[in-house]
C-alpha cells in the first residue's frame, strides 16, 4: 500500500513471493515498477479509498504512506484518528482472517521551542510534503482498533537518524551533478530538508514506528 518506486516489491520477489500488488497514486511509479518486468508483480494506480482487490490478500505492507492521509487542518479539527481508522478498516477488508500487516510510519513527537526550528519543520511540511502530516504514535495505536491486533511495535528513531544522515551525505557527494540536472533550488531544498530530518530525529521531534499487525 503506497508502493513508491517498487523497491519493496522487487525485494519481496527476490525473497520468493509469487504474486504481489503495489498501489500508488503515481503513473510514473507504476510504469517504473512494471518496467522491471518481474513475473507476478503488478502496480496499480488507484486511491486506496476506492481500491477493491479481486481477491483477498494473504498480507499487506505499507511504508511511509499514512502521512499523506490527514492534513494539518484536519488534524486541528480533531479528525486524525477517524481518518487513520478508516484506512485501517479499509485495508482490513482486503485481507484473509489472521493476515499480517507490516506497517511503518514516521511520527511527530516533541515540539521544538525555537522559532527557527519551528520554521524549518514548517518548510518540510509546506514545501517537501505539502498537505501531509506525520501521525502521533498514540493516534495510530487508537486507530488500529478494532480491526488489527498489535503483535509487535518498535520505534526506529535512531535508525532513521542514521538513514537520513546517510541520504544527506550522498546528496552532498553528488551536489554538482544534481545542481546541473535539476537546478539549484532542488538541491538546496533537499539539502535543507535532510538536514532538518537529521535534527528532528536527534532531538526527538520525529520518530519512526514499525508495527506488526494481525487481522482480528
Ligand atoms: C512517501 S511515498 C512512500 C513510498 C514507499 N513505500 C517508500 O517507502 O519508499 C508514499 C506512497 O504512497 C502513495 N499514496 C499516497 N496517498 C495515497 C492514496 N490515497 N492512495 C494510494 N496511494 C497513495 C504515493 O503515491 C506513494 O507511492
pLDDT in 10s for each residue of the chain, 216 residues:
999 999 999 999 999 999 999 999 999 999 999 999 999 999 999 999 999 999 999 999 999 999 999 999 999 999 999 999 999 999 999 999 999 999 999 999 999 999 999 999 999 989 998 988 999 999 999 999 999 999 999 999 999 999 999 999 999 999 999 999 999 999 999 999 999 999 999 999 999 999 999 999
Q: Look up the pTM and report it.
A: 0.94
- The contacts found for 71-79 with CB under 8 angstroms, 24 or more apart, are 71/131, 71/132, 71/133, 72/125, 72/133, 75/133
pLDDT computed for residue 90 by the predictor: 98
pLDDT computed for residue 7 by the predictor: 96
CA distance 187 to 123: 15
pLDDT computed for residue 108 by the predictor: 95
Pocket test for ligand 1, best of 34, 68, 88, 90 (most atoms within 8 A of CB): 68
Element housing 13 (H / E)? helix 7-14
pLDDT computed for residue 131 by the predictor: 86
Query: How far is CA 181 from each of CA 48, 92, 127, 174, 175, rounded to the nearest angstrom?
Result: 33, 43, 20, 11, 10
Residue 80 near residue 118, CB atoms below 8 Å: no
Phi, then psi, of 45 in degrees rounded to 5: -90, 110
- In this structure, the residue with its CA closest to atom 19 of ligand 1 is 47
Please, where are the H alpha helices in 47-156? 72-76, 80-92, 115-123, 137-144
Q: Which residue has the cell 546528496?
A: 171
User: How big is the CA angle at 144 (ends 141 and 121), to the nearest 5 degrees?
Assistant: 55
- Ligand 1 atom closest to residue 25's alpha carbon, by position in its atom list: 25
Ligand 1 is surrounded, with C-beta below 6 A, by 2-4, 23-26, 29, 47-48, 63-65, 68
Cα of 142 from ligand 1 centre, angstroms? 22
Cell of 40: 507476478
CATH 3.40.50.150 fits 52-215, yes or no: yes
CA distance 6 to 142: 29
Pocket test for ligand 1, best of 20, 34, 65 (most atoms within 8 A of CB): 65
DSSP 146-204: TTEEEEEEEE-HHHHHHHHHHHHHHHHHTHHHHHHHH-HHHHHHHHHHHHHHHHHHHTT
CA distance 216 to 150: 10
Distance in Å from the first CA to the final CA of the chain: 19
Domain boundaries, the chain: 52-215
CA distance 67 to 108: 10
Amino acid at each position: 500500500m503506497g508502493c513508491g518506486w517498487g523497491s519493496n516489491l522487487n525485494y519481496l520477489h527476490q525473497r520468493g513471493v509469487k504474486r504481489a500488488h503495489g498501489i500508488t497514486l503515481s503513473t510514473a511509479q507504476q510504469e517504473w515498477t512494471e518496467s522491471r518486468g518481474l513475473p507476478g508483480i503488478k502496480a496499480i494506480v488507484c486511491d486506496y479509498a476506492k481500491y477493491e482487490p479481486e481477491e483477498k490478500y494473504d498480507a499487506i505492507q505499507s511504508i511511509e504512506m499514512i502521512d499523506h492521509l490527514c492534513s494539518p487542518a484536519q488534524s486541528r479539527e480533531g479528525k486524525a484518528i477517524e481518518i487513520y481508522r478508516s484506512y485501517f478498516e479499509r485495508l482490513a477488508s482486503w485481507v484473509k482472517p489472521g493476515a499480517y500487516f507490516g506497517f511503518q510510519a514516521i511520527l511527530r513527537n516533541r515540539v521544538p521551542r525555537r522559532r527557527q526550528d519551528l520554521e524549518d519543520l514548517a518548510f518540510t511540511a509546506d514545501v517537501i510534503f505539502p498537505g501531509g502530516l506525520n501521525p502521533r504514535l498514540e493516534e495510530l495505536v487508537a486507530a488500529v482498533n478494532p480491526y488489527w491486533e498489535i503483535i509487535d511495535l518498535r520505534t526506529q528513531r535512531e535508525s532513521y537518524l542514521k538513514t537520513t544522515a546517510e541520504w544527506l551525505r550522498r546528496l552532498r557527494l553528488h551536489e554538482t551533478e544534481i545542481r546541473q540536472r535539476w537546478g539549484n533550488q532542488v538541491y538546496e531544498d533537499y539539502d535543507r530538508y535532510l538536514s532538518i530530518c537529521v535534527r528532528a530525529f536527534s532531538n526527538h521531534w520525529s520518530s519512526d514506528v514499525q508495527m506488526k499487525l494481525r487481522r482480528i
